[in-house]
Amino acid sequence: MVISMINFNVPPFTGREMEYIKQAVENQKICGDGPFTQKCSAWIEEHTGTAKCLLTPSCTQATELAALLMDIREGDEVIMPSYTFVSTADAFVLRGAKVVFVDIRPDTMNIDETLIEAAVTERTRAVVPVHYAGVACEMDTIMDIAKRHNLFVVEDAAQGINATYKGKHLGAIGDFGCYSFHETKNLSMGEGGALLIQDAKYIEDAEIIREKGTNRSQFFRGQIDKYRWVNYGSSYLPSDMNAAYLWAQLECIDAITAKRLALWRQYDELLQPLQESGLLALPHVPEGCVHNGHMYYVRVKDLEERTRLIEFLKGNGIWAVFHYVPLHSAPAGLKFGRFFGEDVYTTRESERLLRLPMFYSLTPAEVDYIVGKVKEFYHV
């Protein structure tokens, strides 16, 4: 079977995106908080049960907005895994905080909840669990630690939309949750994100900061007769054209998730013999966690084997990629953070992990081909 180059990712497209973008243009409202932004926000609120959803230009900016709402300041500490994207740390570093990294669990690549409490100091303000590959962190334990130490919990649910933990939607468990709608995610608006707020007391401040420090949102709702500059802020509004693209995908979220889960299960079933032979380690989904098929990854023997496998797959028309380089070993990580305890799994597991192609338009035949080439590499 001959297949042209299989990309690692293709942005999702359901068919109605262009129609809705055209509507946004015809509405003569292509800036922020137009009709499509309102539709998307209301849908996420109803779907997740969060008190408020605010669309943002990126998940990075959603996290920045959360840091502002928590009044993170210089000298504060924020606990998170080192195995994450830089944006998780950037939002707090920009506020002057020190990032405290702890090790991950080798089964899920998520933060090891049993190591968090020992890393808490009198300066700790927040814990940031990252739901890797749309598989939930152990949130009951994390929320208990946060409650006992009076800490905020900010869920980095960039990969977690439509995934749950014990029936609760990821992003709607902690004080704040952050979604990504980047082109690599299950749902996309090109560049975009959302901040989910659980406690209504933060909504007014969030709207003000998001609207350049003005009470403009209240003005448009008719709650005040004119709007003013009332606090510091920035512009955290995406274009309504981006929201129009996203709305087409929210309408199809069940179909998108079902397709990705089917592809995920196909990978998992076909690669089981390699795990049973000890050649690969496959993803683990703990009991109580329902994932969203965001990613399918394998873990190989070591960095050298991963490099050879990437080159072999590339030579056969398959673009497979590694993921994060742990933040604590990066120049900025050394400058703005510190690793608490021992790095037992973070670096080792990150060097073993390889992500296989996964996107909405990927076909079962292509998955068969990819798995066939992986097996060929291992002479299976």
- Model confidence pLDDT, tens digit, residues 313-345: 999 999 999 999 999 999 999 999 999 999 999
Residue appearing with tokens 């992990």: 353
We find that the CATH architecture of domain 17-250 is 3-Layer(aba) Sandwich (3.40)
Percent of the chain with pLDDT over 70: 99
Instruction: Specify which residues 81 forms β-bridges with.
Output: 102
- What are the tens digits of pLDDT across the range 107-162? 999 999 999 999 999 999 999 999 999 999 999 999 999 999 999 999 999 999 99
The yes-or-no verdict on residue 198 having pLDDT over 90 is yes
The yes-or-no verdict on residue 241 having pLDDT over 70 is yes
The yes-or-no verdict on residue 1 having pLDDT over 70 is no
Distances (CA, A) of 343 to 13, 102, 115, 173: 40, 8, 11, 28
* Tokens found for residue 87: 């944006």
Residue ranges of domains in the chain? 17-250, 253-377
Mean pLDDT, rounded, for 190-219: 93
* Tokens found for residue 65: 């907005």
- Same CATH fold, 253-377 and 17-250? no
For domain 253-377, give the CATH number.
Answer: 3.90.1150.10
Q: At 51, is the pLDDT very low, low, confident or very high (cuts 50, 70, 90)?
A: very high
Q: At 286, is the pLDDT very low, low, confident or very high (cuts 50, 70, 90)?
A: very high
3-state class (DSSP) for residue 292: coil
pLDDT for residue 220: 73
Q: Which of 19, 15, 28, 34 is nearest to 243 (CA)?
A: 34
pLDDT for residue 3: 57
Query: Using CA atoms, how far apart are residues 78 and 121, in angstroms rounded to an integer?
Result: 10
- What are the tens digits of pLDDT across the range 255-277? 999 999 999 999 999 999 999 99
The yes-or-no verdict on residue 2 having pLDDT over 60 is no
Q: Are 194 and 54 in contact (CB under 8 A)?
A: yes
